[in-house]
Structure 1
Amino acid sequence: MIISYLTPLVLLLLLLAAAIRILPEYKRGVVFFLGRFQAVKGPGLVIIIPGIQKMEVVDLRIITLDVPEQDVISQDNVTVKVNAVLYFRVMDPQKAIINVENFVNATSQLAQTTLRSVLGKHELDEMLSERDKLNNDIQEILDVQTEDWGIKVANVEIKHVDLDESMIRAIARQAEAERERRAKVIHAEGEYQASQKLLDASEVLSKNPAAIQLRYLQTLNDMGNKNASTIVFPIPMDLIDSFKKFADKKD
């Protein structure tokens, strides 16, 4: 007789345990009534009628998803291996459950194809130097395509762009050649500026013969101060002019 009383009580307790759900603040429950969408419930206490109602729980926190390593052929025909990390969250639980079978797997597959598509339109130098721009381009494309799934893509970060050894050596040679080119350009610019200054100085000296004579004497003084075995005999410019005039008359 006691068992006959306990059996309904146990069944009632089991029914209540199956019917009562408690959802935390960061979760929502998508409730279906006889297979049809009824409402989005939560957080807090949610009562479900077993066998008639069914609830799918969705986490609203930001989900971190690693995009597996992808083989990408750049626009300049360089094969690289690229992986990334994706941050997204569910904004509309109803769409995330009804419009797509598994929104996490669907977002992962879409991120892989988008990563290959976007990076394949750029050259290797752009992948290495303009990573922020590429992150924004991928994020915008994913955000538009996942809007129907009730998902908001918050951020995309390219983690690694791996090259093979031959390509690394080629990039090193290219960087060395670029440094040599810049050094030659800087040296040529210095030579040009020095020649320009010498031209300006010659124009100034040519306007005043006394300045030329002073420069001549300064040069002799500089040569005399050095420990050199060369002996310099200064010859007046007037004497040279006299020799020139004498040679002209003789001719």
Structure 2
Amino acid sequence: MPDLSVSLEGVSLTLPSRAGKVEILKKVDLSVKPGEALGIVGPSGSGKTTLLMVMAGLEQPSGGIVTVAGQRIDGRSEDQLSAFRRDHVAIIFQSFHLIPTMTALENVAVPLEFRGVADALEIARDRLGRVGLGHRFTHYPGQLSGGEQQRVAIARALASGASIILADEPTGNLDHDTGEEIIRLLFAMKQQEGATLILITHDPELAKRCDRVAEVRDGRIVSGAHP
């Protein structure tokens, strides 16, 4: 069985600014069990998204240890991190990040094709069907609603086979009803895949759907850091 846990030990991140160095994360400790759904909450600017980016290897910490899927990822090169994300981590963004000149099917298939997966289009068709978009294969992002675009993003994330899902405000650009629909789908897909889900949200009711909630304030986790 693959290791689907996430662990941060004493993780700090300091970035330069015109006013001097700014501490974004301050010796953060966090552990997430395999298959767990963790909600991360906190005010804007508290460091939630940065925390997620560190877990994804999209931001290098200034100090501490980051272990994802049983592998230490802090200090790795960009090429190594890119390969790691490809195989282990699915990221779902608030702003969808779809390629506007590609159809829904192509958007889901292209990461698989980069990996050299022979049946990339078949997998993409299956994943789009599972998120209810079997009738939208040939539509471009501009022809889809916000909810449909987020469904494509979820299908693309899960098509990779990665079983650690990092979601940054995945309903932030959607109306309430569409957001509810997307969250139901995301949790259903997590359950079906047996995945670990780490979800950033401003919505306390959404956070309560997770197995556990961690609160971030001023670059520190003030509650819920460990099971």
Q: Indicate the TM-score class for this superposition, using the shorter chain for normalisation.
A: under 0.3
Q: Which has the higher helix share?
A: 1
TM-score normalised over the length of structure 2: 0.21
Using the size of structure 1 for normalisation, the TM-score is 0.20
Pick 1 or 2: higher relative contact order, CA cutoff 8 A, min separation 6: 2
